[in-house]
Structure formats: C-alpha cells, structure tokens
C-alpha cells in the first residue's frame, strides 16, 4: 500500500508505475470505485511515462474524509498529493466523478494541467438530484447496491470477471465516503467552469452508457473550446475497464499529440 500526505493532513492512497521525462498522467476514479479501476491504464501508460492513480479522501487506502468534504476538497487533495510526489504538471484523466474532480482541479489550478481527458462525465446532469437521492437511500448496504447497479453500469453482455471486479470494488466502499462522493458528482454544476477550459481536452464516452449518456458528453465537448469527442463502442459507463484497449489507444494518441506540440 502506497500513501502520500495531501491537503488537510489527509493521507491518500495511490498506485503508480513508470518513470521518464514525458509529462505524467494522473487518473481519477468514479464514485463507485477506487484507484484499482485504473490498473489496465497504469500498466499501459507506465511503459512510456509516469502514471499515477489516486484514491479520494475516504476511499480505498486513504484517510477518512472530514464531514462536509466537497468536490473542490477532492481536487485540492489530489493537487497536494501530486505536489508531494513531485508532479508539477500532468495530463489529468477522470471518469465520471473523476471527470468532475478533474474539471474542479483545472478551475482552481489550470497551470498544473497539461491536458484533460474527461470520460463518461458531464458539466451538469439533468437527473443528478434523483440519482443522488437514490444513491444515498441505498448506500447503507454497498454490496447490495453494487449487485443491483452493475448491469446498468456496464454494456451487456458484460465480461463476468470484470463484472465481479466491479461488484467487489464497490462493496468495499465505506458508506459515508460513498455519500460524500455521490454529492460531489451528482450535484455538480460546472457549466461556467468548463467554458473557461483552455487546455487540450478529449471527451470520451461509452456508446452504451446509461448513467451519463453520450448526449451529455457531446454537450460537454461543445462547451469546451477545441475539445474532441470520441465514442467507445460496446462500452457502458465504465469504459476504461470494459474496453481497455480502445480506451488506452484513444488516450495514448491524444496525449502523445499534446506532448508533440508542447
């Protein structure tokens, strides 16, 4: 287990691979997972650069989040952890809640972000309040919640091994941490913030995403000057683990293009 002290004295869990002079890439997970969801990406991108996946406060191997922790607090914790690990600037890739946190991080510290990869996320979710209310109501039994949600999260038919991994990862989440994360993602409205993004941005979405449908990603892409959009076929909301090769290919081509222009 690797941990690094971040904002407010909280230690964050992280997993990393790779080294070298290329701009590092940082991965931020969704509300129902932890840093382990990014292992296919750490293995791939660690071959060419430093790659780091973090847990948020309260998740995985991190310290518990104080009451009232917000998406901006998550962003501050990630930035502080990056600084402690000697990462001054990075490509930031976030999925779902991770995309929300990535936007918040860029809003507060744009000079620390080389590019953004925003996967299966949004600027404002029209059903956010309803999803949040359902999430909170079901959060006392995380295993039951995971088992009831997994087939909606993933395109069907899903890989049984990946499906089981999703259930086990979600079942491990501490209910209070999940409720903090649910508020951070589903109650987000960052339309004004995304208008101000001026770094290269790639928006990705599983073509069969039922949680944050492709229309929300297209709307997000249109709000960000110069942003690109790519759909990932045969993927649902968890596109990075449902279709890791396709996800990695798109992200790799994008960040290498950004690096070549730097």
Which of 46, 12, 7, 8 has its CA nearest to residue 29?
12
Q: What is the pLDDT of residue 129?
A: 97
The total domain count for the chain is: 1
Q: What is the pLDDT of residue 8?
A: 72
Do 153 and 32 contact (CB within 8 A), yes or no?
A: yes
The whole-angstrom separation of Cα 170 and Cα 177 is 11
What is the span of the domain harbouring residue 247? 2-261
List pLDDT tens digits, range 1-20.
799 988 778 899 999 999 99
Listed as ranges, residues in the chain with pLDDT below 70 are none
List pLDDT tens digits, range 128-161.
999 999 999 999 999 999 999 999 999 999 999 9
Domain of 76, CATH number, reads: 3.40.50.1820
The whole-angstrom separation of Cα 125 and Cα 132 is 11
Q: What is the pLDDT of residue 262?
A: 78
Which SS3 state, helix, strand or coil, does residue 221 take? helix
Q: What is the pLDDT of residue 31?
A: 98
Q: What is the pLDDT of residue 44?
A: 98
Q: What is the pLDDT of residue 5?
A: 85
Helix-helix angle 71-84:97-108, to 10 degrees? 70
- When the pLDDT of each residue in the chain is averaged and rounded to a whole number, the result is 96
């Amino acid at each position: 287990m690797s941990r690094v002290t971040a904002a407010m004295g909280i230690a964050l869990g992280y997993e990393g691979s790779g080294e070298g002079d290329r701009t590092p890439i940082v991965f931020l997970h969704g509300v129902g997972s932890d840093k382990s969801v990014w292992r296919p990406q750490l293995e791939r991108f660690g071959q060419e650069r430093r790659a780091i996946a973090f847990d948020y406060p309260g998740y995985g191997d991190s310290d518990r989040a104080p009451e009232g922790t917000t998406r901006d607090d998550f962003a501050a914790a990630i930035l502080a952890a990056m600084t402690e690990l000697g990462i001054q600037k990075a490509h930031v890739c976030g999925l779902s809640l991770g995309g929300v946190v990535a936007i918040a991080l860029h809003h507060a510290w744009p000079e620390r972000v080389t590019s953004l990869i925003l996967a299966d996320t949004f600027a404002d979710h029209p059903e956010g309040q309803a999803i949040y209310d359902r999430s909170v109501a079901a959060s006392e039994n995380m295993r039951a919640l995971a088992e009831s949600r997994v087939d909606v999260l993933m395109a069907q038919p899903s890989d049984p091994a990946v499906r089981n991994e999703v259930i086990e990862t979600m079942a491990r989440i501490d209910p209070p941490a999940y409720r903090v994360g649910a508020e951070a993602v589903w109650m987000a409205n960052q339309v004004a913030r995304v208008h101000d993004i001026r770094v290269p941005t790639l928006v990705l979405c599983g073509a069969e995403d039922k949680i944050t449908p492709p229309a929300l990603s297209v709307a997000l892409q249109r709000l960000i000057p110069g942003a690109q959009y790519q759909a990932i076929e045969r993927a649902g909301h968890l596109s990075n683990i449902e279709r890791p090769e396709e996800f990695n290919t798109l992200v790799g081509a994008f960040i290498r293009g950004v690096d070549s222009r730097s």
